[in-house]
Structure 1
Amino acid sequence: MSIIRRIFGEPKPGKPLPVIRIDPVSLAAAQRAERSGHCACLSSRGKKGTPSVPNLHAEPQDTSAPRWLALLALIDDSRNTRVIEPSATMPAGQWSDVITLPAEVQFLTAVSQLRLYGSHLRRLPPEIGRLSALGNLDIYTSYSLHWLPYEMTRCARLRDTRMSTRALYGNIKTRLPFPRLSGPLEVLQPQTCSVCDKPFGECGATPYWTTQRIGTDVAPLLAHSCSSECTARIPDAPEGYYARPHKGGGGVGMPVSDL
């Protein structure tokens, strides 16, 4: 099977496969990627009507498995490197079973490129906001990754991103709704407020969705706020999106022009 078919699937009758150019790094990553095993959140893509509200991915990561230990070792060995690409060093079967990155990614302060093409990640840890040198983030064809942590706004050098935007919550083409948020989920909650970076007080954390520009893309972000003051500090979303932080569910968060 050609790499084009691996990416786009079999063509429809009478419709040829698209002609694309793909760089050698992406080509190699695409050839390594496991295409099966992604979540079913996008099963309503292309169907008419209002898609059902998906559940927020909160699956725990098995931290005792060899794949997790191998990822920890890779991160430890990469503290002084500029490029990290787990799929290039981990067996495909191990990498495809990883649903989040460990909090230890915060120590990769020298990394400028994080290549996660074709991953099966469900989420990125809030500690990714500590990557002060990160300038390029590639999560293309990571179809189970529907949102990013608000802490990514702290990556001041992040300029280039590549995402499968149709897999993101609130996308105008797939109409994938935002999951409803009530209280914080322990598996997703950061150690400090997403906005002020201070420890949560007695009131604890309150989760919100917001849509912001990250690098070269507009993406949904999950923020955990410690106070109404911090919530008010979250910028308005770009024009055409639901402006203020919200709790998701139904059509809220969809581009305004599509409501």
Structure 2
Amino acid sequence: MNKRISKIPNNVQDRTSIAWKKLCEYVDQLAESNAEEFSPRDVLGNELFSQIYTLPESIAKLKNVKKIDLYGSNLKRIPPEIGEMESLEFFDPYTSYDLHWFPFEIFKCKNLKDSRISTRVLYGNYKNRMGFPRLNHNPIRYHGDTLKCSICSKQMSYEVTNQMWITTRVGTDIIPMLANLCSKECEEQLPKPPKYYVQFPHKGGADLVQPDMNEFEYIEAVYETVTMKKVQIKDEDPKNDRSKFLKLLSKLFS
């Protein structure tokens, strides 16, 4: 059953605020120094960081950053430019409870092997099947008058883009992503969603039917997620079964 379908707001960030200006300065400094970690709270402090609801498009310059630390943020969205962070290995927006979806471009971060995301608040997650907002009459707009196709990077206007939801695995989590598409050919290049999720690109809405899961399928999905987290337990460890069970419980209630 779809739950809590709401409209996605645009223009979420005050780009004239001190918090935003300091964040942009921080990104420029990281780009110049070839730093490997992006941790804005450490630089802005709690008060200013709490006023950040998206990230600057300039994160595209962070070619050497391997880790993004956005733990406990108030972010509502991530810009598509994250896909240009070619060295990114670890993405951590854990307990950022207003992040319900991500741009498809994060799928292009080929070095991204590990992630820590609060999946319970994501659209379409298997724990509560939160509904996907309908895209037909509620297009999501990023900053600027144009955008690029999520597949081929063709520049286009919002009037011609075809926005679709798609769910797939990124890092060690399964996440819903927004794809901006310029053609049917690009739509056909979207990845196949994993089992237990809507198996095709879609526009969302209350009439979208999401997969039902019985108790055993739910446990299987949780176990698959836990094992993707690369839990290292030696076979000869006498606490093997107990450790797996504790990890499973921890994931169920995360």
TM-score (norm 1): 0.76
Partner residue in 2 for 1:145? 99
Q: Is the 8 A contact 1:171 1:255 kept in 2?
A: no
Deviation at 1:202, TM superposition (A): 9.9
Deviation at 1:194, TM superposition (A): 0.4
Partner SS state of residue 105, structure 1: helix
Partner residue in 1 for 2:41? 87
List aligned pairs for 1:9-158, cutoff 5 A: 51-79=3-31, 80-158=34-112
Rounded to whole Å, the distance in 2 between the matches of 1:253 and 1:168 is 16
List aligned pairs for 1:239-254, cutoff 5 A: 239-250=195-206, 252=208, 254=210
Which runs of 5 or more residues in structure 1 are unaligned?
Answer: 1-48
Please tell me the residue identity of whatever aligns with 1:225: L
Q: Point out the more displaced range, 134-143 or 229-238.
A: 229-238
Partner residue in 2 for 1:185? 140
Aligned Cα root-mean-square deviation (Å) = 2.0
Deviation by residue 1:37-63 (Cα, 9 ceiling, x = unmatched): xxxxxxxxxxxx863412223243111
Partner SS state of residue 198, structure 2: coil
Q: Is the 8 A contact 1:171 1:254 kept in 2?
A: no
Partner residue in 1 for 2:123? 169
Q: Is the 8 A contact 2:126 2:196 kept in 1?
A: no
Q: Point out the more displaced range, 242-251 or 122-131.
A: 242-251
Q: 1:149 to 1:96 in 2, by over 3 A?
A: same
Rounded to whole Å, the distance in 2 between the matches of 1:118 and 1:67 is 16
Partner SS state of residue 120, structure 1: coil
Q: Is the 8 A contact 1:242 1:256 kept in 2?
A: no
Higher helix share: 2
Partner residue in 1 for 2:180? 224
Deviation at 1:201, TM superposition (A): 7.3
Rounded to whole Å, the distance in 2 between the matches of 1:223 and 1:253 is 20
TM-score (norm 2): 0.77
Deviation at 1:140, TM superposition (A): 0.3
Rounded to whole Å, the distance in 2 between the matches of 1:253 and 1:61 is 33
Q: 1:216 to 1:52 in 2, by over 3 A?
A: closer
Which runs of 5 or more residues in structure 2 are unaligned?
Answer: 215-254
Q: For 2:151, which of 161, 184, 195 is the aligned residue?
A: 195
Rounded to whole Å, the distance in 2 between the matches of 1:201 and 1:209 is 19
Rounded to whole Å, the distance in 2 between the matches of 1:170 and 1:113 is 26
Q: Is the 8 A contact 2:78 2:103 kept in 1?
A: yes
Rounded to whole Å, the distance in 1 between the matches of 2:128 and 2:207 is 12
